[in-house]
A and B are shown apart, each in its own frame.
Chain A
């Protein structure tokens, strides 16, 4: 019991000391280093954005091209069918 209370007192003194611990000043050049790091990260983000936009553009163009090609080939088939039907009709006449 006595030992416990003496440990309590000791801890209180140590805690008091902890509150008086010296504070240190950060180096002055740290701000510049932070700004450089911010700049680098910003550039990386911009690069990622550029790549993403380029990828989206390529994808959009590919889909567009595919749909045009697909549509034109469908139109060709339709035209061919119509001609075939007409010819068939003429033949029977």
Chain B
């Protein structure tokens, strides 16, 4: 059985980055991360298996992020774009390798994230989980508590919507 600290160390980057991908605001992401782990602390005994725990942590992170977006829909002003000074270099776990393409990549990434931001919540979740977290349809279905077919259809619709925005 894992201790709370071990669970925290194993999942902190996942939770923090998921939250950041949703709210794109450092303070909000930190707040969400805190709420998620407080919830984990008080419900730890319910999740004995690590796979269940990870799925559940993904789920509560998504729900907390969507709640946060709902609450501060009008007040979201400090967006993260990956090139801003707000996120210091030392806080980066990974970075773009090629400095020449870095600028172009950052621009494109910010553009895509802005487009993803405009998708309905369920489509947005599917895209982020599949394309940023590299999860399979089966895993996404389990996290979002929907069928694999529904995941596929949401992904197709998200793609269509994103193509319209190109």
* B12 lies within 8 A of A30 (CB): yes
The total of chain B residues at the interface (CB under 8 A) is: 39
Q: Which residues of B contact A38 (CB under 8 A)?
A: 38, 41-42
Docked pose: A34 CA to B13 CA in angstroms: 15
1/0 per residue A36-65: CB within 8 Å of B?
A: 011001000000000000000000000000
Q: Do A25 and B38 form a contact, CB below 8 Å, given A11-B159, A18-B132?
A: no
Question: Is B85 at the interface (CB under 8 A from chain A)?
Answer: no
Q: Which residues of A contact B21 (CB under 8 A)?
A: 21
- Chain A binder among B50-58, B92-100, B145-153: B92-100
1/0 per residue B87-128: CB within 8 Å of A?
A: 100111111100000000100110111000000000000010
Q: Do A25 and B93 form a contact, CB below 8 Å, given A30-B33, A34-B37?
A: yes
Q: Which residues of A contact B166 (CB under 8 A)?
A: 7, 10-11
Question: Is B16 at the interface (CB under 8 A from chain A)?
Answer: yes
User: Is the interface on chain A under 10, 10 to 19, 20 to 34, or 35 or more residues?
Assistant: 20 to 34
Q: Which residues of A contact B47 (CB under 8 A)?
A: none
Question: Is B46 at the interface (CB under 8 A from chain A)?
Answer: no
Other-chain residue from A17, A20, A31, A41 in contact with B8 (beta carbon distance below 8 A)? A31
9 contacts between A and B (CB under 8 A): A11-B162, A19-B131, A21-B132, A22-B92, A26-B15, A26-B16, A27-B91, A33-B30, A34-B34
* B→A interface (CB under 8 Å): 5, 8, 12-13, 15-17, 20-21, 30, 33-34, 37-38, 41-42, 82, 87, 90-96, 105, 108-109, 111-113, 127, 131-132, 134, 159, 162-163, 166
* A→B interface (CB under 8 Å): 4, 7-8, 10-11, 13-15, 17-27, 30-31, 33-34, 37-38, 41
